[in-house]
Amino acid sequence: MAGKEVAAVEIVDLVKEYPSSFRRKMYRAVDEVSLRIEQGEVYGLIGPNGSGKSTTMKALLGLVAPTSGLCKVFGCDSMKVDARQHVGFLPENPYFYKHQTAEETLKFYGRLCGMRGKQLAMRIDALIELVSLQDARKRRLGGYSKGMLQRVGLAQAMIQEPQLLVLDEPTAGVDPVGSRQIRNLIFQLKEQGVTVFLCSHLLEQVQEVCDTVGIIFNGKMVQQGSLSELTSVDSHTEILVEDMDEATLAKVREVIEQGGGELLASGAPRRSLENLFIEIANQCGEEAR
């Protein structure tokens, strides 16, 4: 891609209407959404169920035609087949051919992308290891659990080493350990310079991995910006201390009040249930080994 950096994703005034059974009115699933994702960025789209996240992604991949507006992937119109060369997509609740094994599935998608031979075989090995499906690679997908299918879906999306990954609810139905793995994977991809566009209704996860966040409600983009911009409360400052006794705390309070501030809260920080669960799971995993 020569010339100046094009945005990885550019969506301009996207409108998508579906016919509704309700008389002849059209139902607006996506209402004038615009967003831009620079190369190498991790963008999270959050919103409740039915707010138009999946529809936006499908329009970006040319699976549905926009009613109006424009979607571009690396400067190429989404409705063209060429736009799909450098994109990997993980659909919501992915479902693959039950009669195939994980290996065959990846081979099939790799060959659709024009890969073959040794290069493809090596890529498949690497991906299967990456999503830790080594033990199940020769089993038919009919017997896979939800989380395993999700991982096959991820591997399939990454088969041709795309520069952009579009992940629709990547952690839906996956247990916390699995979703932690997916999160780590996204970090890894980000280091490699891959652009990631994900959507979720699980706020914590988006918060952990995304540089930029867009909040979508009823098809409308409500707010958009970098994560720190959106979540910092300007007038507050957080201090985290280890091993402090009551006396020191009283002194700190004094110092703060002298400076004209006010100590709002103190106490042991709560770890999230998710963190606790993962810690225990890790411990059990180590003991088992």
Partner 1 sequence: MSKIGFISATRISVIAGHTFTQLVRMKVFYFLVVFAVIVLASQFVDMSTLGAVKAVEQNLRVMKGAGFFAMNMFSVILALSATALLLPKDIEDRTLYTILCKPVPRLDYLIGKLLGVVALVTVGLLVMDGLFCLILNIRVEAMVAEQADLLTRMGRSAEVIESHAAAIREQGVTWSLQAGVIAVLLKAIVVASIALLVSTFSTSTIFTIIITVVVVLIGLIQAEARDYFLQQQSLGMSSPMLEMTRWISLLFPDFKLLGIEDGVINGERVSWSLLGRVSLAGVLYAAIYTVLSWFVFRRKEL
Contacts of ligand ADP in 145-164 (CB under 6 A): none
- With CB under 5 A as the rule, give the number of residues binding Mg ion: 2
Interacting residue ranges for partner 1, rule: CB under 8 A: 1, 18, 58, 61-65, 74, 76, 81-82, 84-87, 89, 91, 93-97, 99-100, 108-109, 111-114, 153, 156, 160
Kindly state the tokens that stand for 2: 């020569």
Q: Angle at which helices 176-191 and 273-288 pack, to 10 degrees? A: 90
Q: Angle at which helices 176-191 and 146-157 pack, to 10 degrees? A: 10
Sheet (strand 68-73) strand order? 26-37, 9-19, 68-73, 76-77
Contact 87, 77 (CB under 8 A): no
Comparing CB distances to partner 1, the nearer of 69 and 176 is 69
Residue of 17, 31, 92, 211 that binds Mg ion (CB under 5 A): 92
Comparing CB distances to ligand ADP, the nearer of 50 and 261 is 50
The one segment of 13-21, 46-54, 93-101, 123-131 that binds Mg ion by CB under 5 A: 46-54
Alpha-carbon span 227 to 210, nearest angstrom: 7
Residue of 14, 41, 54, 206 that binds ligand ADP (CB under 6 A): 54
Q: Does the footprint of ligand ADP cover residue 51 (CB under 6 A)?
A: yes
The one segment of 56-64, 89-97, 122-130, 242-250 that binds Mg ion by CB under 5 A: 89-97
Least distance (Å) between residue 70 CB and partner 1: 17
The one segment of 46-54, 93-101, 133-141, 234-242 that binds ligand ADP by CB under 6 A: 46-54
**DSSP symbol at 253:** H
Q: Does the footprint of ligand ADP cover residue 95 (CB under 6 A)?
A: no
Comparing CB distances to ligand ADP, the nearer of 9 and 102 is 9
Least distance (Å) between residue 52 CB and ligand ADP: 4
**DSSP symbol at 91:** -
Bridge partners, residue 167, by sequence: 90, 198
Alpha-carbon span 205 to 21, nearest angstrom: 36
SS3 of residue 64 by DSSP:
coil
Least distance (Å) between residue 272 CB and partner 1: 32
* Identity at 200, one-letter amino acid code: S
Q: Angle at which helices 146-157 and 117-130 pack, to 10 degrees? A: 140
Comparing CB distances to ligand ADP, the nearer of 54 and 224 is 54
Residue of 47, 62, 178, 214 that binds ligand ADP (CB under 6 A): 47
Question: What is each CA distance from 269 to 231, 233, 239, in whole angstroms?
Answer: 18, 18, 11
Binding site for ligand ADP (CB under 6 A): 18, 27, 29, 47, 49-55
